[in-house]
Amino acid sequence: MYKCKYCGKEYCKKGIGTHIWRNHGAGKNFDPNQSYKNGTKIVWNKGKTKLDDKRIAIGSINSTQSHLRNLSLGITKGHRLSEEHKARLKEIAFDKIRKGEWHNSFSHARTYLYKSDFAGDVKLYGTWELLFAQYLDLNDIKWERPKNTFEYVYEGNIHHYTPDFYLLDDDLYIEIKGYKTARDIAKWNDFSKQLLVLEGKHLFEMGLISSYRNCGLPIKVTGRVC
């Protein structure tokens, strides 16, 4: 059971969200008699997507994280993998993380076209970026996708890096990071501007996501990272 933080009533996991929405949130004027049309119930999420509704976006994240968690435990279609197979999967995953390939392989597969009040039509990579962009718009924070690139050195070669967001009024760059790699550390250490890196724990504290997993390299950053 889950206790409502507003009135103290208790509901099951599926019911607490509906209770808060109807009684304490945007749906407090909800009339259940108006939710039926021609005898057929109209569901609350009809016509909505994770691009325009935060609840659906968070549900999508939770579903994906649950799926990845099951894979990491070797749970697939009702049966468990052998210990040797699970160890091999973990070895492959951490090898990709060390090489900086893990995060990119997932982020580019989830591309969202988002219409922002300040930045206009932009492409966002990953649901975390989408939720953060919606957060900026809802709080009237002027932002844009950075247009310039910054050089950094990694393994003796010069590369170019562009953060995810730029806050105009604060002259601050934002990086949304799920998996931290050695290459990411090199980017941030050589970054000459003010940069704020937001990981899962920060988005969780902001109320944008409901859960996260710590993953990546625990390497200390020495650059101008907030």
Chain centroid offset of residue 132 CA: 8
What local confidence, expressed as pLDDT, does residue 108 receive? 45
Q: Is 137 exposed, middle or buried (0-12, 13-18, 19+ CB in 10 A)?
A: middle
What local confidence, expressed as pLDDT, does residue 22 receive? 82
Count of residues in the chain: 226
What local confidence, expressed as pLDDT, does residue 40 receive? 62
What local confidence, expressed as pLDDT, does residue 55 receive? 80
CA distance 13 to 122: 35
CA distance 18 to 12: 10
What local confidence, expressed as pLDDT, does residue 98 receive? 63
CA distance 92 to 74: 14
Q: Please, what's the b/e burial string for 141-178 (b: 16 or more CB within 10 A of its CB; e: otherwise)?
A: eebebbeeebebebeeeeeebebbbbbeeeebbbbbbb
Q: If we measure between CA atoms, which residue out of 106, 208, 129, 142 comes closest to residue 175?
A: 129
- Reduced to 3 states (helix: H, G, I; strand: E, B; else coil), residue 197 is strand
CA distance 127 to 112: 8
Chain centroid offset of residue 39 CA: 38
pTM of this prediction? 0.53
Structural contact between residues 106 and 129, judged by C-beta atoms closer than 8 angstroms: no
CA distance 82 to 76: 11
- Reduced to 3 states (helix: H, G, I; strand: E, B; else coil), residue 73 is coil
What local confidence, expressed as pLDDT, does residue 220 receive? 47
pLDDT tens across the length of the chain (226 residues): 888 988 989 988 888 888 888 888 877 776 666 655 555 666 777 778 877 887 888 887 777 766 666 665 555 555 566 778 777 777 777 676 666 555 444 444 478 889 998 999 999 988 899 999 999 999 999 999 998 999 999 988 999 999 999 999 999 999 999 878 888 889 999 999 999 999 988 998 998 988 776 655 444 444 444 4
